Structure 1
C-alpha cells in the first residue's frame, strides 16, 4: 500500500512528530462520577462499557457528560438498567485481554459478573498509534470478542470503530495522514471480522446456542453542519481541548448512535 511505503520513507520524521505530540499534548483528568450502579430497583437491562480513555470519558469533567452517562440517558425508554464501566487510559486490545483473563473468575466487582446484555467496546486508537500490525490486532480483537461472548453471553456487542485519526487536530502532518490511513485499514478489517463472527455465534465453541450474539460496528457520526467549515476546523470545535479526545458533543452523538442500534433488537 502507498501509505506503507511513505511511512518507511518518513519513519524518522514520524517518530519525531510522535514524540513531540506526546510531550505537548495536555493530559486531561478522568471524569468524576460513578462507574457502576443501576437506575432503579429492578433493572431489566445490563450494560458494560469496556475500553480505553474514550470509553472512560476523558475529555469531559463528569461521567454524566461522558459516554456512560449519555448511554444511560438515552436508554431510559428501555426501563431501568444496571451499568458498569471498565476502562483505562492507554488501554490496548492486548492489555484489555490480559486484564479480562486475569479477573474473569476472581472477585472483581465488574469483570466477575455472570452476564451483561449489552457490551460496548472502544479500543483501537492506542493500537493504531503503536507499531502493531493490522493482522495481529485483528487476531486480538477476535480473541476479545470470543472471550466476551463465551463469558457473558451478551445479546449484543457494539464495537466502536477506530475514530478518524486523520482528522485529529493534535496530530501534525504527515503523521496525521499516516495514522488516518492506518485507522481506515484497521476499520475495514474489523468490519469484515464482525460479519464473520456474526455468522458464527450460536455455534459450538463460540457463544451460547440459545443466546446468539449480534455484532454491530459503531462509526462515530461526525457530520459537520456547514459546507463552509472544513472537517479539521469542525473537529477542533467538537473535540476536547487536547485535540485528541471526544468533547461533550461527540459523546452525545456516540451514545445516540449506540442507542439506535440497540433499538433494532428491541423493536
Structure 2
C-alpha cells in the first residue's frame, strides 16, 4: 500500500513527532462519578461499556457528561436499566483481554457478572499508536468479541470504530496523516470482521459498528478548527459534544434492537 511505503520513508520523523506528542500533550484525568448503578428497582436492560480513556470519559469532568452518563440520561425516560463501566486510560485490546480473563469468573462487581443485554466497546486508539499490526489487532479484537459474547450472552455488541485520527488537533503533520490512514485501514478490516462474526451460528449476538458522524456545520472554518471546538482541551480526547453524539448513536442502536 502507498500509505505503508510513505510511512516507512517518514519513520524517523514520525517517531520524533510521536515522542514529542507523548511528552507535551496534557494528561487529563478520568472524570468523577459513579461507574455502576441502576435507574430503578426493576431494570429491564443491562448495559456494559468496556474500553479505554474515551470510554472512561476523559475530556469531561464528570460521568454525567461522558458516554455512560449521556446514554443513561437518554435511555432512562423510556426504561429502567442497570449499567456498568469498565474502562481505563491507556487500555489496549490486549490489556482488556487480560483483565477479562483475570476477573470473568470471579466476584468482580462488573466483569464477574453473568449477563449484559448490551455491550459497547471502545478500543483501538492505544493499539494504533503502538507498533501492533492490523492483523494482530484484528485477532485480539476477535478473541475479545467471542469471549464477551459467550460469557455475557448479550443481544447486542456495539463496536465503536476508531475515531478520525487524521483530524486530531494534538497531532502534527505528517503524523496526523499517517495515523489517520492507519485508522482507516483498521476500520475497514474491523467492519469485515464483524460481518464474519454475524455469520457465525454459534454466536447469536448482533455485532454492529458505530461511527461518529463528525460533520462540520460551519463552512467558514476548517474541519481541523471544528475538531478543536468539539474535542477536549488536549486535542486528543472527545469533548462533551462528541460524547453526546456518540451516546445518540448508542441509544438509536439499542432502540432499534429493542423494537425489532
What's the TM-score, normalizing by structure 2?
Answer: 0.98
1:239 and 2:239 aligned: no
- 2:199 aligned residue: 199
Q: SS of the residue aligned with 2:85?
A: strand
- Cα deviation digits, residues 36-57 of structure 1 (max 9, x gap): 0001111110000000000000
Unaligned runs of 5+ in 1: none
Distance 2:249 2:39 in 1: 21
- Cα deviation digits, residues 74-130 of structure 1 (max 9, x gap): 112431000000001000001100110111011111000000000000000001111
Distance 1:37 1:77 in 2: 16
- 2:184 aligned residue: 184
- 2:207 aligned residue: 215
Distance 1:116 1:78 in 2: 18
Distance 1:160 1:199 in 2: 20
Q: Which moved more, 1:257-266 or 1:159-168?
A: 257-266
- 1:35 aligned residue: 35
Unaligned runs of 5+ in 2: none
- Cα deviation digits, residues 128-173 of structure 1 (max 9, x gap): 1111110110000000000000000000000000000000000000
Q: SS of the residue aligned with 2:82?
A: strand
Distance 1:263 1:108 in 2: 29
- 1:55 aligned residue: 55
How far the C-alpha of 1:224 sits from its partner, in A, is: 1.1
Q: SS of the residue aligned with 1:114?
A: coil
Q: Which moved more, 1:217-226 or 1:158-167?
A: 217-226
Question: Where do 1:121-132 residues align within 5 Å?
Answer: 121-132=121-132
Question: Where do 1:76-87 residues align within 5 Å?
Answer: 76-87=76-87
Distance 2:181 2:205 in 1: 30
Count of aligned residue pairs for this structure pair:
259
Distance 2:78 2:114 in 1: 21
Distance 2:117 2:137 in 1: 25
- 1:230 aligned residue: 222
Distance 2:255 2:44 in 1: 15
Distance 2:207 2:19 in 1: 36
What's the TM-score, normalizing by structure 1?
Answer: 0.96
Distance 1:185 1:82 in 2: 35
Question: Where do 1:9-20 residues align within 5 Å?
Answer: 9-20=9-20
Aligned CA RMSD, in angstroms, stands at 0.8
Distance 1:244 1:7 in 2: 21
Distance 1:102 1:129 in 2: 25
